[in-house]
Amino acid sequence: MKTPCPRCKRTLEQCGEVVVEGESFAVFQCDDCIEPMQFGGESFDAAYTFALRPDGTTFDPSADDLTE
């Protein structure tokens, strides 16, 4: 499965899968879009990672709260 990056429009290959409330979503990672992450009180740069819903919208698979 492939999808364009919502930020830079580069075509990305699916790199994984996340299961939320019994539904699985494709996960993509864009190495061109770096964003700061907070982990253990330190901040570092990480590749932009997002999961894709069937309707084409995206969400952050690492977020604590996935409900909207």
CB of 15 to Zn ion, least distance (A): 13
State which residue, 41 or 46, has the beta carbon closest to Zn ion: 46
Residue pair 5/41 in contact (Cβ under 8 Å)? The answer is no
Paired tokens of 9: 């429009």
Is residue 51 a contact point for Zn ion (CB under 5 A)?
no
Residue pair 29/5 in contact (Cβ under 8 Å)? The answer is no
Which amino acid is residue 12, in one-letter code? L
Is residue 33 a contact point for Zn ion (CB under 5 A)?
yes
Q: Which of 7, 13, 16, 57 binds Zn ion (CB under 5 A)?
A: 7
Which residues make up the interface to Zn ion (CB under 5 A)?
Answer: 5, 7-8, 30, 32-33
